[in-house]
């Protein structure tokens, strides 16, 4: 984060969130020796590499989730599903950790690619186990993935009742939040 000087001449760290390239001389150039164009090219290449692998992992995770549902629907037991669900969970965690760090392509691209690579491995392990398990249940055809091309279609595909969820949220906002605010006022944690 860049150091900036206020009107009184005092230096402080600027915590304004934004694109560091917009203030290159005070942000990136303090540590990096490349010029702005060269560094922007590096960042773009790293970002593309991370994004390409992210998309591949997401595809494997989506398939693993729907294949797991098919196995459960076919009668798979909790014991049969445990190692598969563990693999899916571990893949999902690794994907989330890599992608939640929005700047990972800049300061830790190798770590981001490593995490996404292990996510891919875990998802592949889950799908291999699922193929074997599904075969024991008599399912040898490819599991079809529903259309999840939009948020609304994805919500529908996994069975979310969005009208009910929205109504529950509004009820929560109208009933629970006022109770919390009143309690916070009583405890002196919220001004009147």
6 pLDDT exceeds 90?
Answer: no
25 pLDDT exceeds 80?
Answer: no
pTM for the structure as a whole: 0.79
What does the mean pLDDT of the chain come to? 93
Predicted local confidence at residue 140, as pLDDT: 97
Domains of the chain and any CATH numbers: 1-33 (no CATH), 41-149 (1.20.140.10), 161-192 (no CATH)
Query: What's the mean pLDDT in 130-147?
Result: 98
Angle at 162 between CA 123 and CA 157, to 5 degrees: 35
1 pLDDT exceeds 70?
Answer: no
């Amino acid at each position: 984060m860049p150091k900036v000087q206020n009107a009184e001449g005092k230096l402080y760290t600027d915590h304004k969130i934004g694109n560091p390239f917009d203030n290159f001389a005070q942000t990136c150039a303090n540590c990096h020796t490349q010029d702005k164009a060269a560094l922007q090219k590096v960042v773009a290449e790293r970002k593309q590499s991370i994004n390409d692998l992210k998309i591949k992992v997401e595809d494997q995770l989506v398939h693993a989730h729907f294949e797991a549902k098919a196995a459960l629907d076919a009668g798979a037991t909790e014991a049969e599903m445990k190692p598969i669900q563990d693999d899916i969970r571990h893949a999902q965690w690794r994907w989330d950790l890599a992608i939640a760090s929005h700047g990972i392509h800049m300061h830790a691209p190798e770590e981001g690619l490593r995490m996404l690579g292990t996510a891919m491995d875990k998802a592949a392990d889950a799908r291999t186990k699922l193929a074997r398990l599904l075969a024991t249940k008599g399912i040898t055809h490819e599991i079809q993935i529903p259309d999840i091309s939009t948020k609304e279609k994805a919500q529908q595909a996994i069975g979310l009742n969005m009208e009910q969820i929205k109504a529950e949220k509004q009820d929560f906002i109208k009933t629970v939040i006022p109770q919390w605010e009143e309690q916070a006022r009583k405890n002196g944690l919220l001004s009147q």
